[in-house]
Amino acid sequence: MNSSFRSIQILIDLLKQYNIKDIVLSPGGSDIPLIHSIESDDWFECYSVVDERSAAYFAMGVAQQKNRPVACVCTSGTAVCNYLPGITEAFYQSVPVLAITADKNPYYQGQLEIQKIEQKNVFNDVIKKSVELPLISNSDDEWLCNRLVNEALLALTHHGTGPVHINVPVVGRTDLYDNKQLPKERKINIVELDSDTSVWEGYAKKLSEAKRVLFVMGQNVVFTDKCVSLLNQLHKKSNCVYSVEHLSNLECNGCVYTYPVSEINGGTSLERLVPDLVVSVGNNLSAYNLRPFLRRHYKEMNNWYVSKCGSVRDAYKCLTAIFEMSFEYFLERMLELLPSDSKNDGLYEKDWNKELSHIVVPEFKFSNMYVASKVASIIPENSVLHLAILNSTRIMQYYKLAKGVQTYSNVGALGIDGCLSTFAGQAASTNELAFLIIGDLSFFYDMNAAGLRSIGPNVRIILLNNGGGSEFHFIMGKEKISTINEYICAEHGNVAAGWATSLGYDYYTASNAEELEAVIEKFGQKSDAPMFLEVLTDMEEDARITNEFYKENTIQTKSSLAKKIARALLGGKGVAKVKKILKVIKE
C-alpha cells in the first residue's frame, strides 16, 4: 500500500533505487503514512524499536554490521530530539544513518500547533546533510522534492560516509493509500574517477546514440590546448554542438554562438532545437532564455553535469549524472570508449546555424549597440574584456571578438556593485590591454575602484552613460510604468569627466557617431596612461533601438510572413493567392 502523499512516494522509490533496504521504525501518528508504505513493501527489511533514542543507535549498529546505509523513521516533536545522541555518535564514527522524521505543517511553526517543533535544525553540527521536503502542489514542487531526496541520499556515502536527515511534512489525511505501482523517480548518479569501466561504457553508449547533444559552456572554465584538441575530436565522433557566448572563452570546431537565437527567437527557433542530451560545463551564462527553454523540455532530455566539485546543480530539472572530475578527463574517457565508427552527421549543428543565419545585425544609429560594434572592432588579440552585467553583456554578443580575448562578467550573483573592482583586479594581473564596458549605474556605484593604485596604462574604461537604468526600459518601459524613470531607472545627470581626469586618465567623451569615430581607434593602442571614454546617449532611445532590432529579427512562420508581403505588394486580394501557393508547396 503506497501513501497518497507525493513526497512520500518519491522518497520510497528513491530509497529503493539507492538500495536502502533496512529501516528501523518507531510508532507515532505523523509517521503513519511513511511506516505503512514501508511495511507494506516486501522489498524492505523492517525493525521495530519504540524508543527513538535507542532506534538511532540500533540503526547505527545495523549499518556497521551490514556495511551499508540504514534508515530510521520517527514521528514529529520530541521523538526527533531523541535521535540526537545516536546521530551524534554516528557522525563521529562516520556511519551512514538516514534519519527520516515526519513533521506537521511547516506554516504553523511557532503557532501553538500540537507536536510541532523546529525539526530542520535539530542535528546541526552533527549531520552531513539535512533537507526538508516541500508540500507538493505542482510540478516545480515535485522537481524540488526529487532533487532534495537525491541530494540527501547521495550525501550518505559521497565524500565520506555519515548521517543524513530528511524532514517530511505530512499535512492532511494519513489514511489514504492505493495499490498502484510507485511512479519511477529520477535518480541522480555520481560518476567518479574510479567508477567501474562498465559505468563509463554505459554513458559512452548513450552519448554515441544521442542525435542531438548540446554542451552548454558556462563561464570560468580554462580550456587548455589539449582540451580544445579533445573537443575537436569529440565533435567528429558525436552529434554535438558547443553552445558558447563570449563568457565561455572557447574557440573550437562545433562552437555555435547560441545567444542571438535564444534571446531573440527563444519562443520559435529554439523549439526546433530541443536536444536529447545536455552536458553542462562551468558556471552561469549571460543568456537569459536558454535555461528556461531547456527547463520547458526537461521530460525530453537528460542532463549531465561535469565538475570537480560534485555538487548537485540541477539547472534544467533533468540532471541524471554528475561527473566529478576535470572536463579534460571526462573528454578523454568518452573518446576512449566511444565506438570506433562513431561520427557526427552534422545535422544538429546545421540546424543551429540555420536559425542563427536568420538573425540580421544592421548598421545601428548612434546608441549603445553602435558603440558595441565599434569597440568590438578595435580590441586586440589576447586582450582582457570585462562586461558589466545586463546591457553591457547583451550588446557585445552580436559582434565577433579577436582571437584569444578573455571575457568576464559578474553574472554569478548578477549585482552591479563590484563590476569595476573585479575588472581592476583582472587588469592588474595582465600586461595585455584590458577593456571594461560598463553602464552608468554600475560605474557610479563602484567608482572608487577607478582610483586604485594598481590601475595601469593598460586600462580602458568605456562608460555607457545614458542617464539611468536603460535595462528597465528594455524590459518594460513607460508604456507599462509611467513613473519608471524616477525610482526604477534612477534617472540622473551625472558625468564622470571630473572624476576620471582627476585620477590621471586620458579622458574622452562622445555624444554622436562622429565624435566616437574620432577617438575609438586610440583605445586599441598602447598608451602611457589609462584611458577613459564616456559615451553619452539616451536610455529610452537605447532601449527603443535594441527592442526594434529584436522585433525585426523575430522569426515568423512562412504563412504570416507571406501575408505581410502579399499585403505590401498585392493588397488584400493577394493574400488568398499566396495561401494557395503555400498549400501547393506544402503538398
Query: Torsion angle of alpha carbons 78, 116, 47, 72, nearest 10°?
Result: -90
Q: Tell me where in the chain the CATH 3.40.50.1220 domain(s) lie.
A: 189-357
Those residues whose C-beta lies under 8 Å from the C-beta of residue 545, and which sit 6 or more positions away, are 364, 365, 367, 368, 369
Please give, one letter per residue, the 3-state secondary structure of 447-511.
Answer: HHHHHCCCCCCCEEEEEEECCCCHHHHHHCCCCCCCCCCCCCCCCCCCCCHHHHHHCCCEEEEEC
- Mean pLDDT of the chain, nearest integer: 93
Give residue 39's pLDDT: 96
Instruction: For residues 368-392, give the mean pLDDT.
Output: 97
Q: What is the pLDDT of residues 187-197, one digit of tens each?
A: 999 999 999 99
Give residue 554's pLDDT: 85
Q: What is the pLDDT of residues 485-528, one digit of tens each?
A: 999 999 999 999 999 999 999 999 999 999 999 999 999 999 99
Give residue 569's pLDDT: 54
Please report how the helices 32-39 and 6-17 are oriented relative to each other, as an axis angle in degrees rounded to 10: 40
- CB burial readout 491-513, b (16+ within 10 A) else e: eeeebbeebbeebebbbbbbeee
Residue 117 has pLDDT above 70, yes or no: yes
Q: What is the pLDDT of residues 459-490, one digit of tens each?
A: 999 999 999 999 999 999 899 999 999 999 99
Question: What pTM was computed for the model?
Answer: 0.91
Q: What is the pLDDT of residues 36-86, one digit of tens each?
A: 999 999 999 999 999 999 999 999 999 999 999 999 999 999 999 999 999
CA distance 99 to 167: 8
Q: How confident is the model at residue 173 (pLDDT cuts 50, 70, 90)?
A: confident
Residue 573 has pLDDT above 70, yes or no: no
Those residues whose C-beta lies under 8 Å from the C-beta of residue 38, and which sit 6 or more positions away, are 12, 23, 25, 44, 46, 73
CA distance 319 to 315: 8
Q: How confident is the model at residue 109 (pLDDT cuts 50, 70, 90)?
A: confident
Give residue 490's pLDDT: 96
Give residue 577's pLDDT: 55
Give residue 555's pLDDT: 64
Give residue 180's pLDDT: 84
Residue 106 has pLDDT above 90, yes or no: no
Give residue 560's pLDDT: 44
Place of cell 535594441: 546
- pLDDT > 90 fraction of the chain, expressed in percent and rounded: 87
Give residue 110's pLDDT: 83
**In this structure, what C-alpha cell is assigned to residue 112?**
501553538
Q: What is the pLDDT of residues 208-226, one digit of tens each?
A: 999 999 999 999 999 999 9
Residue 174 has pLDDT above 70, yes or no: yes
Q: What is the pLDDT of residues 2-26, one digit of tens each?
A: 899 999 999 999 999 999 999 999 9
Give residue 557's pLDDT: 39
Q: What is the pLDDT of residues 381-418, one digit of tens each?
A: 999 999 999 999 999 999 999 999 999 999 999 999 99
Q: How confident is the model at residue 586 (pLDDT cuts 50, 70, 90)?
A: very low
Q: Which CATH architecture has domain 2-178?
A: 3-Layer(aba) Sandwich (3.40)
Q: Tell me where in the chain the CATH 3.40.50.970 domain(s) lie.
A: 2-178, 368-549
Residue 587 has pLDDT above 50, yes or no: no
Give residue 568's pLDDT: 52
Q: Do 368 and 513 contact (CB within 8 A), yes or no?
A: no
Residue 546 has, within 13 A of its CA and on its CB side, a CA count of 31
The SS3 of residue 420 is: helix
**CA distance between the termini of the chain:** 54
**Burial of 515 from C-beta contacts in 10 A (0-12 / 13-18 / 19+):** middle
Please give, one letter per residue, the 3-state secondary structure of 20-43.
Answer: CCEEEECCCCCCHHHHHHHHCCCC
Those residues whose C-beta lies under 8 Å from the C-beta of residue 42, and which sit 6 or more positions away, are none
Pair type for strands 97-103 and 70-74 = parallel
Instruction: For residues 162-169, give the mean pLDDT.
Output: 98
Instruction: For residues 315-326, give the mean pLDDT.
Output: 98
Fold observed for domain 368-549: Rossmann fold (3.40.50)
CATH number of 189-357: 3.40.50.1220
CA distance 58 to 66: 12
Strand order in the sheet with 129-132: 45-48, 22-25, 70-74, 97-103, 164-169, 129-132
Q: How confident is the model at residue 267 (pLDDT cuts 50, 70, 90)?
A: low
Compute CA 234 distance to the chain's CA centroid, rounded to the nearest angstrom: 23
Give the bridge partners for 240, in sequence order: 213
Residue 307 has pLDDT above 70, yes or no: yes
- CB burial readout 169-188, b (16+ within 10 A) else e: bbeeebeeeeeeeeeebbbb
